[in-house]
Amino acid sequence: METKRYYFIDNIRWGVVLLVLLYHVFYNFNALGVFGGIGGFTEQQWQDTICALLNPWFMTLLFVIAGASSRYALQRESAKEFRIKRRRKLLIPSTIGIITFGWILGLLNMHIAGAAMPEGIPFWVKWLISIASGTAHLWFIQDLFAFSLLLLLVRRVINEVRIQSWLDKLPRWGYAIIMIGYFGVLYLASQTQVDNPKPEEGLLNLYRPIFYFVNFLIGYYIFSSERIHNYLAERAKGLIIITLGSCIYFIGRYYGVDYTLPEVLQSVWCNLFCWASVLAMIGAFKRWCDKTSKATNYLTQSSFGIYIVHMVVCTASCLVLKQTTLPIWSIYLIAIVATYIGSFTLYEILHRIPLIRWCIFGITTRK
């Protein structure tokens, strides 16, 4: 079954992936104590604000878009086909991909953490330990795979056709109520963070399964509606103003604070910033970026693979540059350029190798 292609959704997806690459450069050099970073250059750095500008909303938006995309996929695929494709695209890269490629990042992460191994440990033991440390950014696709399977169960209970029919009949003021309701749901879902987590609870705060699954479902049932797209597009300018206002207040209130702390992510201000950003991005891209070209088509096809490989390039670049005496501004600049060029280059090399492209990217043919 042929379904309409929403180019603006494709563009949001690769646009967020490109922001993820930028984010991880600043994340690696953060001085806020965010878990996993290499470390900053001074006790307080204005450049850490870049992370705080992105973290509250960009992965949330990615899950909302993933939910909407899942509905479009299930309009042209059976549940069985959907499950098989998600298993290949998401499960293989986050399991076999870590074994064949992600262990490199695991070694880098262990070096950053200072986890020295006793002498005499066999290589295969070191390899297994590095695999366990190599998940990192792949938490996203692990979450997404689990959500895709859960979706197949949820849609047996909640019929999307009825919800779409109901949305089509709603007056415009009804959409405003839905958007306000979305903020309430977003805020309540954010309260599932664990305060003062124990080491074994740290992953729960990273994966945020309830929070992101709620946004995934809202993307599937609500933000997949073309009428919602158009409603937000008509109000894109106003939503951008609200986003900028909430952003300025959020940054001012939490400047110099670890933006991943539960008390920050659970705050009204963080959720307001997240909510406004998600709505503004959908509205703005629908209004001004609902088009395609050779460049955007390439980014649509390659962004998933670039996301998978980028962290190895980014972390290695930042580790090397941190050891130099270059000016701080040049270290950031070189790291950003190296991350983008290196990630695209590595993807282009790896996805041309038949067996490797299946193991790392879950694809069987070159795109």
Q: Mean of the pLDDT values across residues 130-159?
A: 91
pLDDT at position 75: 94
Q: Is residue 113 part of a domain?
A: no
The angle subtended at Cα 229 by Cα 84 and Cα 65, nearest 5°, is 30
3-state SS of the chain is CCCCCCHHHHHHHHHHHHHHHHHHHHHHCCCCCCCCCCCCCCCCCHHHHHHHHHCCCHHHHHHHHHHHHHHHHHHHCCHHHHHHHHHHHHHCCCCHHHHHHHHHHHHHHHHHHCCCCCCCCCHHHHHHHHHHCCCHHHHHHHHHHHHHHHHHHHHHHCCHHHHHHHHHHCCHHHHHHHHHHHHHHHHHHHCCCCCCCCHHHHHHHHHCHHHHHHHHHHHHHCCCCHHHHHHHHHCHHHHHHHHHHHHHHHHHHCCCCCCCCHHHHCCHHHHHHHHHHHHHHHHHHHHHCCCCCHHHHHHHHHHHHHHHHHHHHHHHHHHHHHCCCCCHHHHHHHHHHHHHHHHHHHHHHHCCCHHHHHHHHCCCCCC
pLDDT at position 226: 95
- As for how many domains the chain has, the answer is 1
In sequence order, the 6+-apart residues with CB closer than 8 A to the CB of 190 are 211, 265, 266, 270, 271
Q: Is residue 1 part of a domain?
A: no
Q: Mean of the pLDDT values across residues 238-256?
A: 97
Burial 113-146, CB ≥16 within 10 A → b, else e: eeeeeeeeeeeeeeeebbbebbbbbbbbbbbbbb
pLDDT at position 131: 74
Q: Mean of the pLDDT values across residues 239-249?
A: 98
Q: Is residue 122 part of a domain?
A: no
The CA distance from 127 to 137, in Å, is 19
Q: Mean of the pLDDT values across residues 259-266?
A: 94
Q: Which has more confidence, 3 or 317?
A: 317
47-60, pLDDT tens digit by residue?
999 999 999 999 99
Q: Is residue 114 part of a domain?
A: no
Q: Is residue 102 part of a domain?
A: no
What tokens does 362 get? 């879950």
23-27, 55-59, 132-136, 266-270: range with lowest mean pLDDT: 132-136
Q: Is residue 100 part of a domain?
A: no
pLDDT at position 367: 57
323-340, pLDDT tens digit by residue?
999 999 999 999 999 999
Q: Is residue 119 part of a domain?
A: no
pLDDT over 90 at 39, yes or no: yes
pLDDT at position 135: 84
pLDDT over 70 at 263, yes or no: yes
Q: Mean of the pLDDT values across residues 224-253?
A: 97
pLDDT at position 114: 75
Burial 228-254, CB ≥16 within 10 A → b, else e: bbebbbebbeebbebbeebbeebeeeb
Q: Mean of the pLDDT values across residues 361-366?
A: 82
Could you give the percent of the chain with pLDDT greater than 70?
A: 94
Q: What pLDDT band is residue 111 in, cutting at 50, 70 and 90?
A: confident
The CA distance from 61 to 19, in Å, is 12
pLDDT over 70 at 116, yes or no: no
Q: Is residue 311 part of a domain?
A: yes
Domain that holds residue 354: 7-94+135-361
